[in-house]
Structure 1
Amino acid sequence: MKPLESGDPIRLGPYRILAVLGEGGMGKVYVGQDGEGRAAAVKVLHPHLAHDPDLGRRFVREAQVARAVESESVARVLDARTDGGRPWMATEFLTGPTLADAVRAHGPFDEPTVRALAAALAGALRDIHAAGLVHRDLKPANIVLTVAGPRVIDFGIARPEHGLTLTATGQVPVTPGYGAPEQVLGQRVGPAADVFSLGAVLVFAASGHHAYEGSHVAAVQYEVVHGEPRLDRVPPALRPLIGPCLAKDAAARPLPDRIVRSSAPPRGADRLWRKGAIAQDITTREHGLNRLTTVPGGLAPRPVSRRRLLTGLVAGGSVLAVGGGTAAWWSRRSGPFDIPAAVKTPEGKLFDMKKGDYVLGETPAPLWSVPSAVSDATPAPLPVRDVVIVGAPKGGIAARGVVDGTLRWSAEKVAAAGRYLSLSDRLVAAADRDGTLMTFVASTGEPKWTSPAEAASLLAADDEAVYVITKDGRVRSIGRSDARIRWTVGIDADLGKDAASRGLVGQGRLVVTAADGSVVALDTAGGRTVWDRRKQSDDGRARAAVSGRSLCVTGKNLTVLDIVDGKELWRAENPEPPNGTPFFWGPPTIHGDHLYASALNVPLRYDLRTGRGTDWVFQGLFECDPPSPLVVQGNGLWSVAVNRTEGGINVVDLSEGNRTSWVFRIVKNPDRYWITADANRVFLLDGTTLTALPVF
């Protein structure tokens, strides 16, 4: 993204223009944000083309027709108009790298990923063609890799009877090397032209090279019409899938449905985009968009120019500060929705025995420990960048520095027992005793926006909203962009009292693990119940963790569900408990491709995608308290083991034979503890003591 320049629009229809996404021969694409805070990609014709009224009307008409496409693999067209004589259209904003960017940055894809890409794109083409349209410009730059899979963008498309779309005199009507021979020759095209483009896209994804190459555009186009595609760098197993798509004769190319069947993507192909380098790219872009849309450039005061604001927002994907800590250029801003960027997280040192950080066979001392740092009724510690949030001893909440445990700020009016949440690592949200939702800058404690939410406890938050349980036992959504109540619904579950229920958000679903053992998933857009599962736990609330679309629920069973539709993906076999021993699964933890949970005092590890147990378990290495969370930090798996009077923390080295490395015999309150971790530190809540432990 780039900052706006002189001549760029400030607003188009309902969209406030924030930054420049890109520019092509026909127009410019901007990041826009509507009044509800939702982002969109807004494409505008170049001014010299906008003067052609026929071209402008055609641009808008074709965009409106494109709204008929219904596909999960296509970016939705949201709106299209002519404002002040300048045509524009807005499409769904997708966060993730383009296929072109991903291959350039990380190299060609492996065979399973290419097959998953082929199936997704062929399905998108099937849906586009079913709406009577031809995309006409499918290429790596028009495919965005999102956490939900590949999505097709840039609907500068037309119905087949319209012929070539939106081309000006002297312009090449297709992207060289990706347009079909009939497009290069200026002939009327049909759906088969998109299949040819798909073949060229798959060659690029599988090899990192274009299917057709030449020293100049004319040479490339000659190869498309008369030459053969370069398949020598494509893995042999993929050539039968890709080769037919590149047939010169349009009638000889397979239909999209056949490509979907032939691609044979691996099981769980939809999860391929949630791990590895591409997943990290997606996360980086999500954070960048969140910073851009949460700090509205149009609300900046005059001393901070719009250009300076946007330059800070988009440079390097993060906001630029001119000083350390909180001494940043935004500090003069005072509006409740003028939210500063998250401060840099101070990474802890990874201890290394070879460097003398600790002695083999001995456990290092804690980094710091503060007795009486928290209240008796505090929820779990919440690390947020440079602070960790806890319930304060004298009431309210307190933020302590992660480096040394010193008190950074406190908010006495907050009812800590109702829980607190991190909002994009920039704000801390909590409710006061009257139910007002309050927010504070995480690093400084500066109060920001509030909402009369009537909140009894907090459930979860995403980029759009904060979700709470109201004092009358309903679930409510409060918008983060305006602090307004978006929806309130009752659900068929006992939510209990005193923050007994919990929530998490993912893939447009708010999942509530209720006090009666039920698990209920609501649509975050409107609060509609999408699916539910009853009696997941015999001893109260079930526990849950999510990664992508995989939702793990533990209680009387360990089950992994699709968070979107609630379908069961796999279930672990329950170990046989000793006679009379009550059995339940402990809280789940997802780290990378693995799922960790304890059963019968033994931590177990599973492949998140397949449900297969790994070739080892921790039995014999150490036991853990069944309610203890399992934390992966550094190279270790951390868990609490307790007896009737005291306990400790056991740490298993995951990198070297899974041996027990450290044992911290420091837990003094076996009935009231919790551990969590962030940035190479493990935080232990032990009664009213807060302790930070080192990581190896």
Structure 2
Amino acid sequence: MEPLGTGDPLRLGPYRLLGVLGAGGMGKVYFGQDGSGATAAVKVLRPELAYDQNLAQRFVREAHMAQAVRSTGVARVLGAQTEGGRPWIATEFLTGPTLDQAVVAHGPVDEPTLRVLGKALSRTLMDIHAAGLIHRDLKPSNIVLTSAGPRVIDFGIARPEHGLTLTTTGQVPATPGYGAPEQVLGQRVGALADVFSLGAVLVFAVTGSQAFGGTHVAAVQYEVVHGTARLDRVPPQLAPLISSCLSKDPTHRPTPAQLATVFAPPRGAERIWRHGALATDIKRRERTIHQLTTVVRGTGSSVHGISRRRLITTLAVGATVLAAGGGTAAWWLRQREGPDLFALPPAAQSPDAPLSAASTKPSLTPLWGPIRAVGKNSDTPLPVRDVLIVGAPDGGLAAHDVVHGKRRWTAPEVNEAGGMLSLSDALIAAADEKGRLVTYVASSGEPRWTAPAAAKRVLAADDWSVYVITKDGRLRSVSRSDGKIRWTARIDTDLLTKLPPYGVAAQGRLLIATDVGKVVAVDTANGRMAWQLENQASFDRAALVPAVSGDTVLINGRTLTARSLSDGTERWAKSEVVEGKMQPSGPPLVRGGTVHTSQGPHAMSYSIEDGSEEWKSPKGYFIHSPVAVQGGAAFAINTRISGDRAAVWAMGLSRNEQVLTYFLAGNTGPWAITGSGNRVFIRDGASLLALPVFA
């Protein structure tokens, strides 16, 4: 927020104006407070535009439109009038990030949160349509996430359901990628246009990318009218529903009432607004606003030693984004104790590599590397947006730029053998040599919060906690909001084995898999045992690495088994048998509704829903190899080609054939493979390299 400037009014109606939240082409938005202490976002038309009768009428009409909606899901209009020849609208002040800001800061939402969001927005659309209106511009930046749930703002181009279009030649009728095809074509728009926009919003929320892409506005709008929505990363249970929202023909779209019923979030999922990283973010902003308004309502000079002017004008490090009812503005406020180290920094943008054209060469040429970059105790390289995290040869962690492989930062105090985790694609969590839980900004390596945890290894994380194995072999939950220990529990299995356990946390369950073939699920609220699985180890006791898709956990080992996350009930199990011998399954990789794995001589793909086979690679020797999927290919490590030489095979998913090969320099490993941003990253012993991805 910026202080008032020359020419800014000091008061509009009952509102004393305290600062400028933002400005746009049509006007400014001020932060105001009335005599009772209630706050508002006051939007005012620019003086030079106030004399344009059409614009002034449209501005006032926006207030009338929003006032007609009786819903807790929209920002309420508190007042509107023309004062001194300038029309203004006062709307409820909403504290919280917009949906697009939340996705950038915390990463895409999970399936339960998507269901909560979908149900809430569907109900809000029901209320808007019941008032005889169409919003016409539902998009992530017009949805504010508050402690009470999502709220829809900005009725700037809303119209009565049977009203004419507002657009004129050369104007964009709605935000590209979110407006329905009939809006793009300038046709009459009905209530189901908002359903199309809702579908596009939900795709963005769960994937972090728009449903329709393009290099410029015209290309995006062409895709909206003629193209196919990109739903490959949408949870498979919801993909058909969201796809129907994005139907080109409005009559094929479901109604908001139908959507509100079908989304059906799991019991307790509404707690997303009260617990977790997003809730912590919202509460911090609420505290900031309370501090500001308390200062303003005081003597006007100071409160607890902080002057009103200093409080308003301090534009420094922080992350308080305040959403007003007609737009949004970012402002920064340094509190006396300094920035909040537990607030998530914005996640870096992912510099996706362009997909290469199909190659006629039989072998792959690396994008960069191989470089000596990996320590002997390093976990699988961890891609996080614009960096690749590894255990460094000289100890600690190192981050390498995904584009060219150059080392960007190091954390030498980290215990290289203690694992590493990504927290919302923004922070890296690890254990240092003293057993402290330490975090760093993923892109820059800036140290953030530290918590004493007696940690030997970081195991998993969810929105609420980081879960660690302590030096004496217990489980410990450390809060992401303040670094405090939530609980410590001892479970009935050895967590200090030679081969470190792997874990995953989701939907109230923490899964821990050990090298003795035991998988334990505990309740993330208290660490109590929920269920366990015995005898899952393969004959050579290779690492078990669980992965989660919705309410299903996939576990490798002697078979690839899909089980209920809540109670461990088996849904299906698959294995390959060669010459009477069951082949072990490698680590599972979840992509959409498919799980990819290796099983002896083949890399395989199965439907997560029913275990049906979807793809099978040419015969090779992929035992225990991880699988990476990027572009139209699956990548796996064939450890026996000629003379026992190992190589990376790129295999087309649309056909059963090997496409390209990259021969590895070392033949002893350890090997690891992972993919992100149209790149495949390979660990070959101490070497690290990146391979291109072909369309």
Give me the TM-score of the superposition, normalised by structure 2.
Answer: 0.58
Aligned to 2:530: 530
Quote the sequence identity (%).
33
Question: Per the alignment, do residues 612 and 596 of structure 1 end up closer, same or farther by CA in structure 2, a change over 3 Å counting?
Answer: same
Aligned to 1:657: 655
Question: Per the alignment, do residues 418 and 275 of structure 1 end up closer, same or farther by CA in structure 2, a change over 3 Å counting?
Answer: farther
Offset from partner CA, 1:241-296 (integer Å, 9 cap, x none)? xxxxxxxxxxxxxxxxxxxxxxxxxxxxx96237785899999x989995674483
**More strand per residue: 1 or 2?**
2
**Residue among 621, 636, 641 paired with 2:638:** 641
**Residue among 557, 565, 568 paired with 2:567:** 565
Q: Is the 8 Å Cα contact of residues 3 and 311 (structure 1) preserved in structure 2?
A: no
Give the 3-state SS of the residue equivalent to 1:664 in structure 2. strand
Give the 3-state SS of the residue equivalent to 2:237 in structure 1. helix
1:23 and 2:75 are equivalent in the alignment: yes
Question: Per the alignment, do residues 492 and 380 of structure 1 end up closer, same or farther by CA in structure 2, a change over 3 Å counting?
Answer: same
Task: Decide which moves more: 581-590 or 339-348.
Answer: 581-590
Q: How does 1:226-305 map to 2 (within 5 A)?
A: 272-273=237-238, 277=242, 290=277, 293-294=280-281, 296-297=284-285, 298=287, 302=311, 303=313
Could you tell me how far apart the structure 2 residues matched to 1:512 and 1:274 are?
Answer: 29
Q: Is the 8 Å Cα contact of residues 503 and 545 (structure 2) preserved in structure 1?
A: no
Q: Is the 8 Å Cα contact of residues 389 and 397 (structure 2) preserved in structure 1?
A: yes
Could you tell me how far apart the structure 1 residues matched to 2:533 and 2:443 are?
Answer: 39
Give the 3-state SS of the residue equivalent to 1:23 in structure 2. coil
Aligned to 1:690: 688
1:576 CA displacement: 2.8
Q: Is the 8 Å Cα contact of residues 3 and 307 (structure 1) preserved in structure 2?
A: no
**Residue among 114, 118, 129 paired with 1:97:** 118
Question: Per the alignment, do residues 422 and 274 of structure 1 end up closer, same or farther by CA in structure 2, a change over 3 Å counting?
Answer: farther
1:477 and 2:471 are equivalent in the alignment: no
Could you tell me how far apart the structure 2 residues matched to 1:365 and 1:593 are?
Answer: 31
**Residue among 347, 359, 375 paired with 1:342:** 347
Could you tell me how far apart the structure 1 residues matched to 2:402 and 2:421 are?
Answer: 17
Number of residues paired by the alignment? 460
Q: Is the 8 Å Cα contact of residues 598 and 623 (structure 2) preserved in structure 1?
A: yes
Q: Is the 8 Å Cα contact of residues 386 and 401 (structure 1) preserved in structure 2?
A: yes
Could you tell me how far apart the structure 1 residues matched to 2:601 and 2:593 are?
Answer: 23
Q: Which amino acid aligns with 1:518?
A: K
Give the 3-state SS of the residue equivalent to 2:616 in structure 1. coil
CA RMSD of aligned residues (A): 4.7
1:299 CA displacement: 5.9
Q: Is the 8 Å Cα contact of residues 22 and 30 (structure 1) preserved in structure 2?
A: no
Q: Is the 8 Å Cα contact of residues 546 and 552 (structure 1) preserved in structure 2?
A: yes
Aligned to 2:307: none
Give the 3-state SS of the residue equivalent to 1:388 in structure 2. strand
Question: Per the alignment, do residues 677 and 321 of structure 1 end up closer, same or farther by CA in structure 2, a change over 3 Å counting?
Answer: farther
In structure 1, stretches of 5+ residues that fail to align are 11-19, 34-74, 76-91, 106-136, 142-152, 156-176, 178-206, 211-269, 323-327, 354-358
Question: Per the alignment, do residues 472 and 404 of structure 1 end up closer, same or farther by CA in structure 2, a change over 3 Å counting?
Answer: same
Q: How does 1:2-41 map to 2 (within 5 A)?
A: 6=33, 22-23=74-75
Could you tell me how far apart the structure 1 residues matched to 2:444 and 2:562 are?
Answer: 39
Offset from partner CA, 1:299-356 (integer Å, 9 cap, x none)? 699455699955478999999799xxxxx999x9744224421111111111113xxx
Could you tell me how far apart the structure 1 residues matched to 2:92 and 2:673 are?
Answer: 49
Could you tell me how far apart the structure 1 residues matched to 2:635 and 2:73 are?
Answer: 43
Task: Decide which moves more: 554-563 or 532-541.
Answer: 532-541
Offset from partner CA, 1:462-516 (integer Å, 9 cap, x none)? 1111000001111100001100000011111122335610100111111111232
1:98 CA displacement: 3.5
Q: Kindly indicate whether structure 1 or structure 2 has the higher relative contact order, using CA contacts under 8 Å at least 6 residues apart.
A: 2
Give the 3-state SS of the residue equivalent to 1:417 in structure 2. helix
Could you tell me how far apart the structure 1 residues matched to 2:330 and 2:148 are?
Answer: 31
Aligned to 2:384: 384
Q: Which amino acid aligns with 1:680?
A: N
Could you tell me how far apart the structure 2 residues matched to 1:319 and 1:457 are?
Answer: 40
Aligned to 2:430: 430
Could you tell me how far apart the structure 2 residues matched to 1:430 and 1:375 are?
Answer: 15
Give the 3-state SS of the residue equivalent to 1:96 in structure 2. helix
Q: Is the 8 Å Cα contact of residues 21 and 29 (structure 1) preserved in structure 2?
A: no
Could you tell me how far apart the structure 2 residues matched to 1:318 and 1:662 are?
Answer: 48
Aligned to 1:456: 456
1:628 and 2:625 are equivalent in the alignment: yes
Could you tell me how far apart the structure 2 residues matched to 1:497 and 1:555 are?
Answer: 17
Task: Decide which moves more: 270-279 or 546-555.
Answer: 270-279
Give the 3-state SS of the residue equivalent to 2:576 in structure 1. coil
Give the 3-state SS of the residue equivalent to 2:467 in structure 1. strand
Give me the TM-score of the superposition, normalised by structure 1.
Answer: 0.58
Could you tell me how far apart the structure 1 residues matched to 2:116 and 2:314 are?
Answer: 27
Could you tell me how far apart the structure 1 residues matched to 2:351 and 2:622 are?
Answer: 31
1:370 CA displacement: 4.3
Q: Which amino acid aligns with 2:576?
A: P
Aligned to 2:158: none
1:578 and 2:579 are equivalent in the alignment: yes
Give the 3-state SS of the residue equivalent to 2:661 in structure 1. strand
Q: Which amino acid aligns with 1:683?
A: F
**Residue among 555, 558, 577 paired with 2:557:** 555
Could you tell me how far apart the structure 2 residues matched to 1:586 and 1:32 are?
Answer: 42
1:543 CA displacement: 2.8
Could you tell me how far apart the structure 2 residues matched to 1:318 and 1:659 are?
Answer: 51
Question: Per the alignment, do residues 391 and 275 of structure 1 end up closer, same or farther by CA in structure 2, a change over 3 Å counting?
Answer: farther
Offset from partner CA, 1:63-110 (integer Å, 9 cap, x none)? xxxxxxxxxxxx9xxxxxxxxxxxxxxxx99752247559989xxxxx
Offset from partner CA, 1:366-413 (integer Å, 9 cap, x none)? 110142212122111111111111111211111111111111110111
Could you tell me how far apart the structure 1 residues matched to 2:678 and 2:506 are?
Answer: 25
Offset from partner CA, 1:659-691 (integer Å, 9 cap, x none)? 321111125244311001111111101111110
Q: Is the 8 Å Cα contact of residues 680 and 694 (structure 1) preserved in structure 2?
A: yes
Aligned to 2:616: 617
Q: Is the 8 Å Cα contact of residues 271 and 549 (structure 1) preserved in structure 2?
A: no
Could you tell me how far apart the structure 2 residues matched to 1:437 and 1:692 are?
Answer: 30
Q: Is the 8 Å Cα contact of residues 495 and 515 (structure 1) preserved in structure 2?
A: no
Q: Which amino acid aligns with 2:117?
A: G
Q: Is the 8 Å Cα contact of residues 73 and 120 (structure 2) preserved in structure 1?
A: no
Question: Per the alignment, do residues 299 and 496 of structure 1 end up closer, same or farther by CA in structure 2, a change over 3 Å counting?
Answer: same
Give the 3-state SS of the residue equivalent to 2:496 in structure 1. coil
Could you tell me how far apart the structure 2 residues matched to 1:436 and 1:681 are?
Answer: 33
Aligned to 1:406: 406
Q: Is the 8 Å Cα contact of residues 454 and 470 (structure 1) preserved in structure 2?
A: yes
1:393 and 2:393 are equivalent in the alignment: yes
Question: Per the alignment, do residues 688 and 22 of structure 1 end up closer, same or farther by CA in structure 2, a change over 3 Å counting?
Answer: same
1:613 CA displacement: 1.9
Q: How does 1:1-150 map to 2 (within 5 A)?
A: 6=33, 22-23=74-75, 95-98=116-119, 101=122
Could you tell me how far apart the structure 1 residues matched to 2:689 and 2:592 are?
Answer: 26
Question: Per the alignment, do residues 597 and 9 of structure 1 end up closer, same or farther by CA in structure 2, a change over 3 Å counting?
Answer: farther
Aligned to 1:363: 363
Question: Per the alignment, do residues 275 and 585 of structure 1 end up closer, same or farther by CA in structure 2, a change over 3 Å counting?
Answer: farther
Q: Which amino acid aligns with 2:658?
A: T
Q: Which amino acid aligns with 1:346?
A: P
Could you tell me how far apart the structure 1 residues matched to 2:593 and 2:325 are?
Answer: 32
1:591 CA displacement: 1.3
1:9 CA displacement: 6.4
Question: Per the alignment, do residues 311 and 623 of structure 1 end up closer, same or farther by CA in structure 2, a change over 3 Å counting?
Answer: same
Give the 3-state SS of the residue equivalent to 2:428 in structure 1. strand
Could you tell me how far apart the structure 1 residues matched to 2:331 and 2:317 are?
Answer: 15
Q: Is the 8 Å Cα contact of residues 554 and 588 (structure 2) preserved in structure 1?
A: yes
1:433 CA displacement: 1.4
